[in-house]
């Protein structure tokens, strides 16, 4: 593919690939070639400045598993649906609006986002509330770098996130059983914790659409549903914001949703997890093993009540 052979990107490099594909569609004039053109659509390489010391040395889950076993309900509820149904999701141009209790609200396009801080590779464990887990070499930088740029006011206590939603591009969402746009939230200190990653890539390349292109969160000490995909809006607010899974079932999904093997989901145990590709289950670790970096934020809090 032309993009893969070019030097590492400026984000707008992704656009010529779409133009290229559109041109191919136009020239080909046949459905068969159109499909092969779309199948050839592949991510662009990302220029990673450093490998983060936060990384685990555990073996990586293969790219194929991470990119075909997905939760992205806007594109269907079966694990293999997003990789199929998000193929033509339009992620360029892209903007994130940052607003609310900040001195410098603004709209960031992808080029601006990629200039906020040098990109790091961070190999994190990712634990889904459904009790499966993966190890992924994400690419991005601390969310705090973006938040510092907009200068939170002292009244900002929480950060609310909203995914992009377009029923025309995401028709399968109508049957997902949750409401869209998908929304998530963090306390401001959680959002400022260096582990909270604003993520633009994985495995050395831009994010595949099904993994939340072009920009998502990765919050490794919390259940995977806190890691909101395809972010369109960030708002700093005074009060705890609503979150999609909590709105859907507050008894089952709390606002905090820190990985905790001692607090079971009402319908299943959270004591163990299945790492994709492994046969035997392994023990789940409190805060997904990131306690050293994050436990202090919850001192004095009852983690059973604040699940």
Which residues contact ligand MTE (rule: CB under 6 A)?
70-74, 128, 163, 182, 211-212, 224-225, 227-230
Q: DSSP string spanning 108-152?
A: EEHHHHHTSS--EEEEEEEE-TTSEEEEEEEEEEEHHHHHHHH-B
End-to-end CA distance of the chain: 46
Instruction: For ligand MTE, give the closer residue by CB, 21 or 131.
Output: 131
Residue 122 tokens read as: 């961070």
For the chain, how many helices (H) and strands (E)?
9, 13
CA neighbor of 63 nearest in space, from 231, 277, 215: 277
Give the distance, in angstroms, between the CA of residue 163 and the centroid of all CA atoms in the same chain.
10
Q: Which is nearer to ligand MTE, 146 or 207 (CB)?
A: 207
Q: How many other C-beta atoms lie within 10 A of the C-beta of residue 233?
A: 18
Shortest gap between Cβ of 164 and ligand MTE (angstroms)? 8
Angle, helices 14-28/31-39, rounded to nearest 10 degrees: 160
CB-nearer residue toward ligand MTE: 101 or 199: 199
Indicate the residue among 101 and 206 with the shorter CB distance to ligand MTE. Answer: 206
* Structure tokens belonging to residue 31: 């459905």
C-alpha distances in angstroms, 46 versus 110, 114, 118, 199, 229?
Answer: 13, 10, 11, 12, 18
Closer residue to ligand MTE in complex, CB, 229/275: 229
Q: How far is the CB of 30 from ligand MTE (least distance, A)?
A: 33
Residue (152 or 214) nearer to ligand MTE, CB: 214
Say how far apart CA 94 and CA 214 lie, in whole Å.
8
Q: Cα separation of 114 and 116, whole Å?
A: 6
| Cβ-based nearer residue to ligand MTE, 26 or 175 | 175
Shortest CB 229 distance to ligand MTE, Å: 4
How far apart, in whole angstroms, are the C-alpha atoms of residue 253 and residue 202? 27
Least CB distance to ligand MTE at residue 22 (A): 26
The residues, any chain, with a CB within 8 Å of residue 27's CB and separated by 6 or more, are: none
The distance of closest approach from Cβ of residue 108 to ligand MTE in the complex, given in angstroms and rounded to an integer, is 18
Least distance to ligand MTE from the beta carbon of 182, Å? 3
Q: Which is nearer to ligand MTE, 104 or 168 (CB)?
A: 168
Q: How far is the CB of 59 from ligand MTE (least distance, A)?
A: 17
Rounded least distance, CB 140 to ligand MTE, Å? 13
- Angle subtended at Cα 138 by Cα 134 and Cα 139, rounded to the nearest 5 degrees: 180
């Amino acid at each position: 593919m032309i993009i893969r052979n070019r030097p590492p990107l400026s984000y707008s490099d992704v656009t010529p690939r779409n133009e290229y594909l559109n041109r191919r569609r136009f020239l080909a004039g046949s459905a068969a070639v159109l499909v092969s053109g779309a199948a050839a659509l592949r991510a662009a390489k990302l220029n990673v400045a450093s490998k983060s010391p936060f990384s685990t040395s555990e073996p990586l889950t293969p790219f194929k598993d991470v990119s075909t076993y997905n939760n992205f309900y806007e594109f269907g509820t079966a694990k293999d649906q997003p990789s199929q149904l998000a193929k033509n999701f339009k992620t360029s141009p892209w903007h994130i609006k940052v607003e609310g209790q900040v001195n410098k609200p603004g709209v960031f396009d992808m080029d601006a986002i990629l200039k906020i801080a040098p990109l790091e590779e961070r190999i994190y464990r990712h634990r889904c509330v459904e009790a499966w887990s993966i190890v992924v070499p994400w690419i991005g930088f601390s969310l705090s770098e973006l938040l510092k740029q907009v200068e939170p006011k002292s009244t900002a206590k929480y950060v609310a996130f909203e995914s992009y939603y377009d029923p025309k591009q995401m028709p399968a969402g109508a049957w997902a059983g949750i409401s869209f746009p998908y929304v998530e939230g963090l306390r401001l200190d959680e959002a400022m914790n260096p582990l909270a990653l604003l993520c633009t890539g994985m495995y050395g390349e831009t994010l595949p659409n099904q993994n939340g292109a072009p920009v998502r969160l990765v919050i490794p000490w919390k259940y995977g549903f806190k890691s909101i995909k395809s972010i369109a809006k960030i708002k700093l607010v005074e009060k705890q914001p609503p979150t999609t899974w909590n709105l859907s079932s507050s008894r089952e999904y709390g606002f905090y949703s820190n990985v905790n093997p001692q607090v079971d989901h009402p319908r299943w145990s959270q004591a163990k997890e299945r790492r994709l590709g492994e046969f035997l289950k392994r023990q789940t670790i409190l805060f997904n093993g990131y306690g050293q970096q994050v436990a202090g934020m919850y001192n004095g809090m009852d983690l059973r009540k604040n699940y």
